[in-house]
Amino acid sequence: MCRSGRRHFPARSFRHGGKSQFLTAIKHICKSGYMEKESTIEAFSALAQPSRMDAFKLIVMHEPEGIAAGEIARMLDVPQNTMSTHLAILSRAGLITSARQSRSIIYRANFGKLRAAINYLLKDCCAGHPDICAPLIADIVPCCPPKENAMPERARSDAIMVKAERTV
């Protein structure tokens, strides 16, 4: 089992080699990047439908508080049962999380999963020529950069060390 916690091959296909062959195959799949690729495909597949893409963007806009499922359906003018199906698909892909608050289910974006999918695509970007990727990276820089004091202490000290190294 890999990060997703799912088994992608039925155990019966490894009967002749036993459990050790099955575990060896799973380790190989994890190291090969297959699981990362499958996870990325699943994330982008979930977003490959207009209502789901709109719902995901709406959920992202309502961070960090989150937004109720009924409110999403109302704002997008989609029947609640249809929206429930769309949210379930986004949730199975790992792009959103849900939590019950009283009688409502509040949805929040899982930025870790989104970041992992984007990083998978950009990991080997430009074959060592950063000038090719510079415009792409500039386009995905957030419109609202994080505040200096919002940085965790370790990241802040690392950033200060890097700045100091540049000036020396």
Listed by start position, the domains of the chain span 1-32, 43-112, 131-167
28 CB-side CA count, 13 A: 7
Model confidence at 61: pLDDT above 60: yes
Model confidence at 62: pLDDT above 80: yes
pTM of the model: 0.64
Least confident of 112-121, 142-151, 155-164: 155-164
46 close to 90: Cβ distance less than 8 angstroms = yes
Mean residue pLDDT of the chain comes to: 75
**CA 154/CA 85 separation, integer angstroms:** 41
69 close to 82: Cβ distance less than 8 angstroms = no
Q: What is the pLDDT of residues 110-138, one digit of tens each?
A: 999 998 998 888 777 777 777 777 777 77
Q: Give the mean pLDDT of 61-88.
A: 95
pLDDT given at position 49: 96
pLDDT given at position 168: 45
CB under 8 Å, gap of 24 or more: what pairs does 26-34 form? 26/1, 26/2, 29/2, 30/2, 30/3
Sign of CA dihedral 17, 19, 24, 25: positive
pLDDT given at position 98: 96
Distance of CA 45 to the CA centre of its chain: 12
Model confidence at 12: pLDDT above 50: no
114 close to 121: Cβ distance less than 8 angstroms = no
Model confidence at 152: pLDDT above 60: no
Q: Give the mean pLDDT of 15-20.
A: 51
- Considering the four listed CATH numbers 1.20.1050.10, 3.40.47.10, 2.10.77.10, 1.10.10.10, the one that applies to the domain covering 43-112 is 1.10.10.10
pLDDT given at position 143: 66
